[in-house]
Amino acid sequence: MSLWLKTNTNKHKKFALSATAASIITAMAGGAFSANAQEVGSDADEAELIVVRGVRGALEKSVALKREAVGILDAVSAEDLGKLPDSDVGESLGRIPGVSVGRAFGQGASVSIRGTDPQMTYTTLNGQSVSSTGWYDQEAIDRSFNYSMLPSELISEMEVYKTARADLPEGGIGGTVIVKTRKPLSLDANSLYLGTKYSVGTVSDDGTEFSGLYSWKNEDNNFGVLVAAAVTQGDYVRRGTEADTRWSSDVSPTTFIQERDRKAFDLSAQYRPTDALEIGFHLLSMELVGDNSNTSHYIFHEDNCSSRNDVTSNYNPNGVCVYSETTADNATDSFVQTWARAASMTSDSVTFDLSHTGDNFEVDVVVGKTKADGGTDLTTNYSYGSWTEGANLPTWTGTVDATGNQIKLTPTSDQTVTLDHFPDEISPSGSWATFKGPNSDQESYAQADFEYFLDNGVISSFKGGIRSTSHELEKTSYASVWADSDDIVTISTSELY
């Protein structure tokens, strides 16, 4: 139950016109305005409204939202989103002052407001909860929303509240983000939008994005349907050299490759039988498939260590090796390991709402459900080393320098790898960590708000409400149980064809 007082001044209508547009209209009207002044004066109430749309429209809309808000608010409208080259809502939010975006695997995944932890930022869809998980099996499930799922093209506007309000759902300690979608009765009949993007990167492969929107409403302007969708495809590649102070101070040049396929579908319907009653329905379905592999070439140089730092661990009681020079006389073994994941995440939200307006009051009722699934359908690893039959890995010779901020590798021989892939009755070693980790997050909610409008010059309205939610979070992990060697049936590759 929440109650709060709204202390805005009395509402009033305003018509704004840019200085440039005003001067043009004045010049065109000229003396005609003086000649017809008396005639226009008698029909002033029926004068046609002139609306000027331009670049300043988006700025004026954002300023109006901030001016009329109770508390500290920043906003981004659809006009602004259309001008930005962002692929998801998270990246667009990063352009708001005081908001920083945490990028995971090249995408804007989390949002931090005024330096607080992303888990303290509460995200709502049209003012209601929206569930989210993640595709990475080592990612913690929390209250934060994964913004990489939501394309910017489906959004009408975004509001970021940096202070608490009694009429906002609880949980936004750092701040609350309200993502709003478009509604059909707010657009012109038969509005159509089509868009496409093509990106070229020096590291990742090319990416394509297609989006579209169609909005229809009847001639009476009391019923409308809006359909919008966006599809994005592309690959993400990340390369680097890692060190985790384990396995004899190993370092590993690593390549991460992910194939991404994101789909989003939005359906909205509005029915306004009278000026006082409005009924709405909204469906948003999002899916991101991100199958990926992470391959590391492990190099060991502990026996050839020339310099250590002060860090100690169970693996290296004398400190971690940060510099070594390995020659052919003391070459060390190496091996290649790949982690492969079949990963995805989905989020679906369904909402029904009803709004009734009286002479001096307004009542809003919302019921809905949101559910998200994610994680990995399969996570496994496999490796090649000097112990693997059919694999011929070279030994490591070169220099490893980790004394600075970056790890530098200088090979002194051709580090080629010869693999006889899957010879008859032989498979790569490893696969000791095959498992799957599906996650789910869902919430059902019902909310009723009422607002009573006053006219005493100080307090403009009195507002209260009640909200009920049921939230379930499940994180599961399935581990493999390997059969005994006597129960394994071996099939040669020649028998498969």
Q: What pLDDT, in 10s, does the model give residues 385-434?
A: 765 555 567 778 888 888 877 788 887 755 544 444 444 433 444 456 67
Query: Closest by alpha carbon to 226, among 292, 307, 174, 280?
Result: 280
Per-residue H/E/C for 197-220: EEECCCCCCCEEEEEEEEEEECCC
**What is the Cα–Cα distance from 335 to 342, expressed in whole angstroms?**
23
Q: Are 231 and 209 in contact (CB under 8 A)?
A: yes
Residue 377 has a pLDDT of: 87
**What is the Cα–Cα distance from 448 to 468, expressed in whole angstroms?**
9
Residue type, 428: P
**What is the Cα–Cα distance from 62 to 69, expressed in whole angstroms?**
11
pLDDT digits (tens, 9 = 90+) for 11-34: 333 333 333 343 333 333 444 434
Query: Closest by alpha carbon to 221, among 171, 270, 182?
Result: 270
Residue type, 45: D
What does DSSP assign to residue 330?
G
Asked if residue 486 has pLDDT above 60, the reply is no
Asked if residue 484 has pLDDT above 70, the reply is no
Rg, Å, the chain Cα set: 30
Phi, psi of 97 (to 5 degrees): -60, 135
Query: Closest by alpha carbon to 378, among 297, 233, 477, 286?
Result: 477
pLDDT band, residue 347 (cuts 50/70/90): very high
Q: Are 316 and 300 in contact (CB under 8 A)?
A: no
What does DSSP assign to residue 483?
P
Query: Closest by alpha carbon to 197, among 184, 205, 208, 181?
Result: 208
pLDDT band, residue 39 (cuts 50/70/90): very low
Using the structure block, give the residue that is written with the tokens 């009391």: 222
pLDDT band, residue 324 (cuts 50/70/90): confident
Pairing mode, strands 175-181 and 121-125? parallel
Domain boundaries of the chain, sorted by first residue: 2-11+182-496
What does DSSP assign to residue 47?
P
What residues have CB less than 8 Å from 373, skipping those under 6 apart?
133, 345, 346, 438, 439, 440
CA atoms within 13 A on the CB side of 319: 10
Query: Closest by alpha carbon to 453, among 26, 79, 9, 70?
Result: 9
pLDDT digits (tens, 9 = 90+) for 350-360: 999 999 999 89
CA atoms within 13 A on the CB side of 174: 20
Give the mean model confidence (pLDDT) for residues 33-48.
47
Give the mean model confidence (pLDDT) for residues 234-248.
79
Residue 376 has a pLDDT of: 87
Residue 294 has a pLDDT of: 92
Residue type, 113: I
**What is the Cα–Cα distance from 286 to 372, expressed in whole angstroms?**
9
Residue type, 33: F
Mean pLDDT of the chain: 75
Residue 18 has a pLDDT of: 37
Strand partners, 353: 280, 366
Using the structure block, give the residue that is written with the tokens 């909310």: 447
Total length of the chain: 497
Alpha-helical (H) ranges within 53-205 are 56-68, 78-83, 89-93
